[in-house]
Structure 1
Amino acid sequence: MQHELTAGELLDDRGRLREAGFARSEVKRYRRRAIGASRLRIKEWNYYCALNDSYGIALTVADNGYMGLLSVSWLDFATPKTSTESIMIPFPMGRMALPESADAGDIVQHHPKMSIAFRHEPGGRRIGIDCPGFGGGKGLKGELRLSQPPMDRMVIATPFPRAPRAFYYNQKINCMPVEGEVTMGGESFRFEPASAFGVLDWGRGVWTYDNTWYWGSASGLVGGRPFGFNIGYGFGDTSAATENMVFLDGHAHKLTDIAFHIPAGTYDGAPWTFTSSDGRFEMEFAPVIDRSAVFDLKFLRSIQHQVFGRFTGFVILDDGSRLEVKDLLGFAEEVENRW
């Protein structure tokens, strides 16, 4: 039985997690000033990814204590190929002022080489990007609106064993219809809400030094109905709850443990498989693009493989009904961090 969070403060007076578990909305209040660890240990980020069948964009704003990050990636599924531009910001330690809620507070970051804005507006969110040097000088600029009708999301509060001041508070909002345009190298790319969907990954916490995580996500239409999922594991103490959740028509269906089976030595070749402890989530994943990034100073390391591709399989909903999934576009990743 997985524990569902109650409303209230996330951390106690000593900066420790009050309650571990999952929720379907932002029931816990995160306050950065309540954290009991060094500012160098605090990790905060907002990540948006918007995809249609032909192309997509991923945007990151992160304050990881000793290093901040502004990043944009363009994904071309027809070719296939991906391009990324990233800006490192030394020792921001909270100066980037990332909001304490996923439901309020805007992010506006300006750098001579890149500007990113994540703004709230009635019924949704608006994201903007301007990166003149993207793609070797082609430039990338765009604005997208992500609609957010009333719907469940994945929320989880995870402790770390033997590290009482470490925790991860995470929210994933799937299945947001996307509308807007991105221009790159003089060519325009439209996103239409009938065929393009976005996800937000909102993360706040204090992490231990050495971790590897696995995360998968997809959003789209199955049988004409909004459908998506969030799956993952690999770090922390998940005995209270997992982050595995399926969404259909805006309603969440909670899953238990899911395992990623990645063919040895490859990320964009042979199919991956996903299996669940209760048989409710069984998928095969056909990789299309490996958006990889390696930063390795030995004592500081981030080795990322975010692989975009198509999921085929089935899920069992809470009422016992079976939903078939075929060629649903999404991603799955393996990320190793020493930070």
Structure 2
Amino acid sequence: MPETRGIRSPERELTAPVSLTGADGRLNRDAVGWTRHPLHDTGGIGHGRTAWGRNKRWEYWAITSPELIVAVTVATLDYATLSQVWALDRRTGAEIDRSAVTPLSRGVELPGTLGKGLATARVPGIEVDLDEIEGGTRIRARTDRVDLDVVAERPAGHEALGVVVPWSDRRFQYTVKDVARPARGTVAVDGHRVELPAGESWAVLDHGRGRWPYSMRWHWGAASGIEHGVRIGLQLGGLWTAGTGSTENALSVDGRLSKIGDELDWRFDPGDHLAPWTITGERVDLVFTPFHDRHARTALGVIHSETHQCFGTYCGTVIDDDGKSQSVDALLGWAEVVRNRW
């Protein structure tokens, strides 16, 4: 991949607070763009009668470490909630999955805007607390088999990618993808307690607030770690942003974001998700090699979904905003393809 000097994303960078919605509940066009720090007030999502049934709000945290991978989801979809705690034992390949769907918003509380309150779930078999604390986010989750208490640290100057994706004035999404957050704390699975090792344990946030079409497909890839002496985070997306003028692609180097504005080309074998994937663009040239496929299907009322979330390692190069090629050799993360009707 050639070196390129001073590439910048064509998308607009926002640097001042803005409301995602107008007084009528529709998209505020002044909110369309991307940010390095959360600046969007999303309190209009989930309130009033505008497009009831299409409002989606969630917090998803994934924690990777040498021994365990854990994911925690707290979501409300207007007509139902979804709470989940999932764990993978990397030594054995065994999965542990506890999920619960409750009607309306029963048992789940989410703040209107990121960082403006506690997110909780108290649903059958699952308890979750997500709380902003000084220097990071505390993630606590409990099921009959999993008990975790982890802090996703926020180093000084750390930047997180925020993006507004506008399908229309009535359908739009605000997402924050925050990669390469150092993780510390403990995770216990079936009574086996693991202290997360420093420098090898990472947390990634997917925060969402928006009003969605019923049917959607997407790719999401993320990875975090130390490579060549620097803290690297990859944030990669596709399908769901096509044609909107927005993308959710970025490189994080020691907490500094380089926004990548072009749509990426995702190639994988739909008959063998554990075969290598390639993800390429003008500034991205990556091969993803999976070691585990988390395959899930849901058919529950109006909710139908199929997910292949593959965990593995990335290698290749990504070019930052200054034209410098950042290489990665074995960066731990995931790549997924999701088909949702919700």
CA distance 1:236–1:227, change in 2 (3 Å): closer
Give how far 1:239 is off. Answer: 4.0
- CA apart distance, 1:112: 4.0
Give me the TM-score of the superposition, normalised by structure 2.
Answer: 0.90
Aligned partner of 1:116 in structure 2 is 128
Deviations 1:128-150 (A, max 9, x none): 11111xxxxxx221211111123
The DSSP-based 3-state class of the residue aligned with 2:170 is strand
Find the counterpart in structure 1 of residue 166 from structure 2: 159
SS in 2 for 1:165: coil
Pairing 1:333–2:336 present: yes
TM superposition shift of 1:222 = 1.2
Mapped pair 1:312 → 2:322:
no
**CA pair 24-36 structure 1, distance change in 2 beyond 3 A:** farther
| Whole-angstrom distance in 2 between the partners of 1:239 and 1:91 | 30
In the alignment, structure 1 residue 302 sits paired with structure 2 residue 311 = no
Quick check: 1:43–1:206 contact (8 Å CA) kept in 2?
yes
Shift, 1:315, TM fit: 0.9
Q: Structure 1 residue 24 and structure 2 residue 31: aligned?
A: no
1:260 aligned residue (255, 260, 266): 266
Per the TM alignment, residue 283 of structure 1 is displaced from its structure 2 partner at its CA by: 0.6
Q: Considering only aligned residues, what root-mean-square deviation do their CA atoms show, in Å? A: 1.8
Please tell me whether residue 323 in structure 1 is matched to residue 326 in structure 2: yes
Aligned position for 1:2: 11
Q: 1:7 to 1:35 in 2, by over 3 A?
A: farther
Cα displacement (A) at 1:107: 1.4
State the alpha-carbon separation in 1 of the partners of residues 226 and 94 from structure 2.
24
Other-structure match for 1:85: 98
Within the alignment, does 1:231 sit opposite 2:236 as a pair? yes
Identify which of 212, 215, 229 aligns with 1:210. 215
How far apart in 1 are the matches of 2:141 and 2:301?
32
Any gaps of 5 or more consecutive residues in structure 2? 1-9
Number of the residue aligned with 1:135: none
Q: Quick one: distance in 2 between partners of 1:186 and 1:296? A: 32
2:79 to 66, 75, 89: 66
Where 1:40 maps in the other structure, the secondary structure is coil
| Structure 1 residue 84: Cα displacement | 1.1
Of residues 167, 185, 208 in structure 2, which corresponds to 1:180?
A: 185
CA distance in 1, matches of 2:302, 2:79: 13
Please state how far the C-alpha of 1:192 moved relative to its aligned partner. Answer: 2.3
Instruction: Give structure 1 stretches of 5+ with no counterpart.
Output: 133-138
Q: Where does residue 153 of structure 2 map in the other structure?
A: 147
**For 2:49 and 2:232, how far apart are their aligned partners in 1?**
38
- Find the aligned partners of 2:143 and 2:91 in 1 and give their Cα distance: 23
Compared with structure 1, are the counterparts of its residues 35 and 305 closer, same or farther at alpha carbon in structure 2 (3 Å cutoff)? farther
Kindly indicate whether residue 18 of structure 2 is the aligned counterpart of residue 12 of structure 1. Answer: no
In 1, Cα distance between equivalents of 2:61 and 2:263: 25
1:189 paired residue number: 194
Partner residue in 2 for 1:136? none
CA shift, 1:297, in A, is 5.3
Distance 1:156 1:26 in 2: 9
With over 3 angstroms needed to count, the CA separation of the structure-2 counterparts of 1:326 and 1:236, relative to structure 1, is closer
Question: In 2, are the aligned partners of 1:11 and 1:35 still within 8 Å (CA)?
Answer: no
Cα drift, residue 43 of structure 1: 0.6
Tell me, in whole angstroms, the C-alpha distance in 2 between the residues paired with 1:60 and 1:3. 30
CA contact (8 A) 1:9 1:30 kept: yes
Q: Secondary structure at the match of 1:88?
A: strand
Change (3 A) 1:48 1:14: same
Deviation, structure 1 residue 240? 3.0
Residue 24 of structure 1, CA deviation? 1.1
CA distance in structure 2 between the partners assigned to 1:178 and 1:78 by the alignment: 20
Pairs aligned (count): 327
Residues 141 and 80 (structure 1), Cα distance of their counterparts in 2 relative to 1, 3 Å cut: same
Q: Deviations over 1:60-90 (max 9, x none)?
A: 0010122211101111223223221101111
Matched, 1:99 2:108: no
Instruction: Note if 1:284 corresponds to 2:287.
Output: yes
Deviation at 1:201, TM superposition (A): 0.6
In the alignment, is the contact (CA less than 8 A) between 2:19 and 2:28 conserved in 1?
yes
Distance 1:207 1:324 in 2: 36
CA distance in 2 between counterparts of 1:81 and 1:326 reads 26
CA contact (8 A) 2:165 2:244 kept: no
